[in-house]
Amino acid sequence: MIIFSSCCNAQMIEGGVAMSDKVPSGFFGDWKVVSVCTKSTDKELQNSTSVDIWTLSRNGQVVSLINPLSGARADINVDDVKGTTVKFEKKAYFPNEESTETPILTLNGDNFTGVDKISIKTFQNGKLIKEDYVEYQVRGTKISGNSISRIFGM
């Protein structure tokens, strides 16, 4: 249920290696993703389910996520990588709204599981008037995209 807009900041860690370089290669490719809303300030969203297609790719230090079903595309920030668990973050700013989306995904072979947390703040005359929160449990199944190193045994 990722909200997309364009932006990218490749965070650097010690030794000049970008966090995006630490993302396990198995994350890249096409995924069928099922999202179930588990928490929300909007009661109508609770327990709602959606199915999407995500394409995760990396070009240099930029990690991109495309949803070919909706046409949405975003360059996303890699916030943290611990083994096969990756925390992404995407911030978007609009005239009277600010959203932060934080998917935390754990890769296990051709599947991932995790949570996607979304916070949306609404402003009027520069003052916060409303804050909404949505949390999804997500499960992804790889549908294509073995890394080239796995294909050629590199």
pLDDT digits (tens, 9 = 90+) for 59-91: 888 899 998 888 888 888 999 999 999 999 999
Does residue 1 belong to any structural domain of this protein? no
pLDDT value at residue 146: 58
- Give the contacts of 58 (CB within 8 A, at least 6 positions apart): 20, 23, 28, 64
Q: At 5, give phi and psi (nearest 5°).
A: -155, 170
Count of the separate structural domains present in the chain:
1
Does residue 120 belong to any structural domain of this protein? yes
Amino acid at 62: V
Does residue 45 belong to any structural domain of this protein? yes
pLDDT value at residue 150: 45
- Give the contacts of 134 (CB within 8 A, at least 6 positions apart): 1, 37, 39, 40, 41, 42, 45, 117, 118, 120
Does residue 133 belong to any structural domain of this protein? yes
Does residue 56 belong to any structural domain of this protein? yes
> Regarding predicted confidence, which is higher, 1 or 47?
47
Mean pLDDT of 43-49: 82
CATH number at residue 17: 2.40.128.120
Does residue 112 belong to any structural domain of this protein? yes
Q: What is the pTM of this model?
A: 0.79
| Average per-residue pLDDT for the chain | 83
Does residue 4 belong to any structural domain of this protein? no
Does residue 106 belong to any structural domain of this protein? yes
Domain that holds residue 109: 12-146
